[in-house]
């Protein structure tokens, strides 16, 4: 694969029409084989399914751009789509990777997502646009601070045939994401997701080492503060509760449950009196109420449930929170990750979990999330908060995870996701010794889209990679497509 020629004119015209008509090129909501209805089995489009397959690149150069498409990074695929003509223009016209075959990949979480690995053929024509538009931006993820980057690395390390490897050359591989990888390539996931067999789990460090034998590997890391990460995760609950007509504000006690499948999860709260509030007992004698009960028939992939006591009505005493998987509506009966937010007298705590690891439903699936005491006059006596559910999302944890498997300078932090293309091009130009950092930054100064602030951010991203003895190359933006 990988023949043909990418037409910048065709690509620009297609994007211009979309911008004028304002359709979303990523409204694709999974492949269902032509079946309809809310419970139709959703899966990877055949164009991007690598189960039991090998991808081949016969081009003189090869490049992989692999995007995290879980909840926190779904917009990166849109950015790559919009700016793909620019990427190809830079690589071709400046001779960085002329004639390169490009494979676009999407990665999620193989423990819970239905489309954790999506990979296009290596192409160098406008079929790349088609592949991008067929990505299913599932926006799932397991809520652990890890995604299945290692499973994608396994596929490219062991189930690809790349001609330039026979010549002793390496391709280029760019992961784009903001979480860690799992420590093991799991045997079960290799078989279920990729249709391949391995005798045992493989340490992820080994797989990344194999991948680096075939590719110059980079991780582009859009930086976020922990406050922003928390806000991204937490704001979704408030939005869903309010949109569904539930009560989010003005409460003594509120317990909200969020998940991202059509399965029918239920929230149960046992009040201090021993009375249990759930879908079969929606209003308690002590003032609590289940005011949102979703997915009875699997009607949404973004459900929420909510139990609350209005301000001044919650009884003093001990409460217990339980999540139950009442019924599966997704056909594959996979474990379901969930997020619970508990508010008590203005204090908010968060809990992550995964239910039905062995396919359990009903009472057998019950997951005790937390127990707490509510007393508006003695809130300081509440027990200490459990282990921070956001700890795995800390910048230091994620950086250390990736730095343990990448070469020095190959973790490329960026402040603005719009800089993804500039950072990819700069990393390739520096590694190929087509320019040095100062020469590349000077070229950026000629462009219309780069202000001083963004130029400085790109410089910081590439600084560790840049080498002082790289030769300066002639570089011009005169014939490049306009930035946008």
- What is this structure's pTM? 0.72
Q: How far is CA 161 from the centre of its chain?
A: 27
Domain architecture of the chain: domains with CATH: 8-223+393-462 (3.40.50.410), 236-383 (2.60.60)
Cα–Cα distance, 307 to 271 (Å, whole number): 11
What are 366-399's pLDDT values in tens digits? Answer: 999 999 999 988 644 444 445 565 667 788 889 9
The more confidently predicted of residues 234 and 461 is 461
SS3 336: strand
pLDDT of res. 396: 85
What is the secondary structure of 55-99 as a DSSP string? EEE-SSEEEEEEEE-SGGGTHHHHHHHHHHHHHHHHHHHTTSSTT
Cα–Cα distance, 259 to 328 (Å, whole number): 13
Cα–Cα distance, 265 to 323 (Å, whole number): 7
The more confidently predicted of residues 13 and 124 is 124
Region 255-259 average pLDDT? 95
What are 155-169's pLDDT values in tens digits? Answer: 999 999 999 988 889
Cα–Cα distance, 202 to 182 (Å, whole number): 11
What are 196-211's pLDDT values in tens digits? Answer: 999 999 999 999 999 9
What are 400-429's pLDDT values in tens digits? Answer: 999 999 999 999 999 888 889 999 999 999
Cα–Cα distance, 451 to 458 (Å, whole number): 11
To 10 degrees, what angle do helices 149-158 and 187-194 make? Answer: 70
- Where residue 398 falls (left for φ over 0; alpha for ψ -120 to 50; beta otherwise) is alpha
| Nearest in space to 268 (alpha carbons), one of 371, 189, 414 | 371
What are 12-69's pLDDT values in tens digits? Answer: 665 555 555 545 555 545 555 555 555 555 678 888 999 999 999 999 999 999 998 8
Structure tokens at 451: 């202000």
Q: How far is CA 72 from the centre of its chain?
A: 6
pLDDT of res. 472: 42
Residues 426, 432, 436, 439: is their CA dihedral positive or negative? Answer: negative
Residue 291 Cα distances to 13, 249, 258, 307, 321, angstroms:
48, 13, 14, 6, 16
Residue 111 pLDDT > 90: no
pLDDT of res. 74: 54
pLDDT of res. 126: 77
Structure tokens at 337: 């990750």
What are 222-248's pLDDT values in tens digits? Answer: 876 556 666 656 677 888 899 899 999
């Amino acid at each position: 694969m990988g023949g043909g020629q990418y037409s910048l004119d065709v690509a620009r015209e297609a994007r211009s029409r979309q911008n004028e008509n304002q359709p979303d090129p990523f409204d694709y909501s999974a492949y269902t084989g032509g079946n309809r209805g809310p419970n139709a089995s959703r899966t990877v489009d055949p164009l991007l399914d690598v189960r039991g397959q090998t991808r081949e690149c016969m081009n003189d150069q090869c490049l992989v751009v692999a995007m995290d498409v879980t909840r926190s990074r779904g917009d990166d695929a849109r950015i790559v789509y919009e700016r793909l003509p620019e990427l190809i223009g830079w690589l071709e016209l400046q001779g960085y990777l002329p004639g390169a075959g490009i494979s676009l990949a999407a990665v999620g979480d193989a423990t819970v997502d239905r489309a954790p690995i999506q990979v296009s053929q290596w192409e160098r024509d406008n079929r790349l646009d088609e592949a991008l538009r067929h990505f299913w931006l599932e926006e799932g993820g397991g809520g652990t601070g890890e995604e299945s980057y290692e499973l994608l690395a396994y596929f490219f390390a062991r189930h690809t045939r790349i001609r330039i490897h026979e010549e002793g050359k390496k391709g280029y591989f760019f992961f784009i994401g903001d979480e860690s990888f799992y420590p093991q390539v799991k045997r079960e996931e290799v078989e279920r997701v990729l249709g391949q067999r391995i005798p045992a789990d493989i340490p992820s460090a080994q797989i990344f080492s194999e991948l680096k034998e075939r590719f110059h590997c980079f991780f582009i890391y859009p930086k976020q503060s922990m406050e922003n990460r928390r806000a991204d995760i937490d704001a979704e609950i408030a939005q869903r509760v309010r949109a569904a007509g539930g009560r989010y504000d003005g409460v003594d006690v509120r317990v909200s449950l969020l998940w991202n499948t059509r399965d029918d999860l239920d929230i149960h709260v046992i009040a201090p009196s021993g009375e249990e509030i759930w879908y079969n007992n929606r209003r308690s004698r002590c003032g609590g109420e289940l005011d949102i009960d979703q997915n009875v028939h699997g009607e949404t992939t973004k459900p929420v449930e909510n139990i609350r006591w209005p301000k001044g009505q919650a009884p003093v005493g001990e409460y217990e929170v339980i999540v139950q998987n009442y019924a599966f509506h997704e056909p594959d009966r996979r474990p379901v990750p969930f997020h619970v937010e508990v508010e008590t007298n203005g204090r908010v705590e968060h809990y992550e979990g995964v239910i039905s690891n062995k396919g359990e439903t009903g009472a057998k699936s019950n997951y005790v999330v937390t127990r707490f005491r509510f007393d508006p006059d003695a809130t300081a006596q509440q027990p200490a908060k459990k282990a921070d559910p956001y700890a795995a999302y800390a910048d230091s944890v994620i950086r250390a995870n990736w730095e343990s498997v990448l070469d020095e300078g190959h973790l490329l932090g960026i402040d603005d996701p719009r800089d993804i293309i500039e950072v990819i091009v700069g990393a390739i130009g520096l590694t190929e010794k087509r320019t040095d950092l100062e020469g590349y930054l000077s070229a950026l100064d000629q462009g219309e889209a780069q202000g001083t602030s963004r130029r400085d951010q790109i410089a910081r991203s590439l600084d560790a990679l840049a080498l002082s003895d790289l030769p300066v190359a002639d570089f011009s933006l005169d014939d490049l497509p306009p930035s946008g």
